[in-house]
Each structure stands twice: as C-alpha cells, then as structure tokens.
C-alpha cells in the first residue's frame, strides 16, 4: 500500500504546530497504525530528522496510552484503540490526517503527545474506595448482585485514554468521569462514599476546564471500550441527589 500521512508536528508546548505530509510506499495492510508510525520514524531517524513523538505502551488495547485523532476521529475509523487499528482499514493511496487530542485540559507536549494528567486529578478526587488493602478478601465476603457486578465491570473497562474528551465538541470529560463513578457506585463497597465521590469528582472535572455535556453522544461513538451513555445519565442523577442533600 502507498499512503500519505499528514501528521501534526509541534516542537514543544509553546511552539506553533502544523500538519506535515509524509509519503510511505511499502505499508503492509497487516501493520498496526502505530507500526506504520514506527516505520516512518525509523526513516526519519536514519535521515537525521526528528521522529514523530506519540504515546504508546501495551500495544494490545488495554493500557489507554495511545492517543491520536485519525481523520477527525479519536483512534480512527474503527471503534478500538489506535494500537489495535490496522492499515487494512485504509485504502491504497489514502491521505490520512493524524492529530493530537484537542482540549484545553489536554495541552500538547510535543507532536501527538498531550498531557492527560487532568484525568488523573479527577480520579484522585474520589475515584477510589477508602479501604484497607491487604491480602485479597474471600470472594464471598461481600455478596454483589449480578447486575451490579456487570455494571461495575462494564464501566471498569475504561482505560482512561481520553478519546471521549477528544471526540466531544465541548471537550467534556463526562463519559470518563461517569465511568469511574459508575464503576464504584454500582458496588456495595462503594456506597459509603457514593455522594462525596460524585460531588468531589464533578467539582474536580469542572475545575480542570473541561466543557459541559450537551448529550450529543459523540463520546460513546469513539470510546474503544464501549462505555455506555447510561453512565452519564446515572452520574447526572447521582450528582443532583447528592447536591440536594448538602
């Protein structure tokens, strides 16, 4: 396959960036999108040029490190992570635009790498259960209803990549925050901190400068883990109930 990638190049946080076009001649359809970038970077390095900086870690779709907007969609045309996207999803001769996550709360560090620490600070505000950690408790120590376990697990699959923020026209982090809250709020162990968790996490989310949710649903269409829109509805309900009880 022959393709052209137009990649956002930005030397540093304060520098001006621009899309730069690179032609690649021998792209295998079986390459992952990141392997295609690796091939490009090898060429750039051999040519004495600065390689494209991009985030990646596990390359098996479970860590949430990779973060590129491909042709205007976070993680590209398939609903998966960038590392699990393969070049067979594109055609010979395609021009592919590759940009970083765009949000005021995600400043660009270099090229395609953005600072997603804002998501960590939301989790620090309440995305945990205060409990002594020792050896794992017996599985039957705390009974969990099956539907609650399913809801918790579905939301716990969020890998915190930030695609929801990148997809949202308002740069809102509601899907991320709601997944983290819904995961714990569904479980019996999460009940004592349920209200303070929701109030503190929403306050942290707003303080980071993320936009508000306008229920457009763009986030769920780009989430590689399929976090449902229902989580946002549940967060709204939990927040309003907790606020009433203050």
Partner 1 sequence: MAIDIRVRPAELTAVQTVWRSTIGKKAVMAVTGLLMVAFLLAHMLGNLKIFFGPHDFDGYAAWLRTIGEPVLHGAWFLWILRAVLLVALVAHVTCAVQLSRRDRAARPTRYAHGQRARASFATRTMRWGGVALGLFLIWHILDLTVGVANPDFDKNGPYHNVVADFQVWWINLIYVVGVLMVGLHVNHGFWSAAQTLGLRRRRGRDLTLRVVGSALAAAITLGFLAVPIGVMTGLVR
Distance of closest approach, residue 42 Cβ to partner 1, in angstroms: 25
Among 9, 59, 102, 121, binds partner 1 (CB under 8 A): 102
Q: What is the largest CA-CA distance in the chain?
A: 63
Q: Which is nearer to partner 1, 42 or 188 (CB)?
A: 188
- C-alpha separations of 60 from 2, 80, 88, 140, 232 in Å: 25, 10, 17, 32, 27
Beta-bridge partner residues of 56: none
Among 99, 111, 122, 186, binds partner 1 (CB under 8 A): 99
Per DSSP, 22 falls in state: E
Tokens of residue 55, six digits = 């985030």
Tell whether residue 8 is a contact of partner 1 (CB under 8 A): yes
CA pair distance 72, 148, nearest whole angstrom: 35
CA pair distance 184, 153, nearest whole angstrom: 9
**Residue span binding partner 1 (CB under 8 A) among the ranges 25-33, 38-46, 53-61, 234-242:** 234-242
Among 29, 104, 153, 226, binds partner 1 (CB under 8 A): 104
Per CB under 8 A, contacts with partner 1 among 108-137 are 125, 130-132
Number of helices (H), then strands (E), in the chain: 8, 7
Residues that bind partner 1 (CB under 8 A): 6, 8, 19, 69, 71-73, 97, 99, 102-105, 125, 130-132, 167-172, 192-193, 195-196, 199-200, 202-203, 205-206, 209-218, 221, 228-230, 232-240, 243-246
């Amino acid at each position: 396959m022959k393709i052209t990638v137009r990649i956002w190049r930005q030397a540093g946080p304060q520098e001006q960036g621009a899309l730069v076009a690179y032609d690649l001649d021998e792209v295998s359809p079986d390459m992952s999108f990141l392997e295609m970038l690796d091939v490009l970077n090898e060429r750039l390095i051999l040519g004495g040029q600065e390689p494209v900086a991009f985030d990646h870690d596990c390359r098996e779709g479970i860590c949430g490190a990779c973060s590129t907007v491909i042709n205007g969609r976070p993680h590209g045309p398939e609903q998966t992570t960038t590392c699990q996207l393969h070049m067979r999803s594109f055609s010979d001769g395609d021009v592919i635009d590759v940009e970083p996550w765009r949000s005021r709360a995600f400043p660009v560090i270099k090229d395609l790498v953005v600072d997603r620490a804002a998501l960590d600070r939301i989790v620090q505000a309440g995305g945990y259960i205060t409990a002594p950690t020792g050896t794992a408790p017996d599985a039957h120590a705390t009974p969990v209803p099956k539907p609650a376990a399913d809801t918790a697990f579905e939301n716990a699959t969020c890998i915190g990549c930030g695609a929801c923020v990148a997809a949202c026209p308002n740069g809102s982090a509601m899907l991320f925050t709601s997944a983290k809250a819904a995961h714990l709020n569904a479980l019996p162990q999460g009940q004592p901190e349920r209200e303070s968790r929701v109030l503190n996490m929403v306050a942290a989310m707003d303080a980071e400068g993320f936009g508000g949710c306008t229920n457009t649903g763009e986030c769920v269409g780009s989430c590689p883990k399929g976090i449902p829109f229902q989580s946002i509805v549940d967060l709204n309900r939990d927040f309003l109930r907790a606020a009433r009880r203050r």
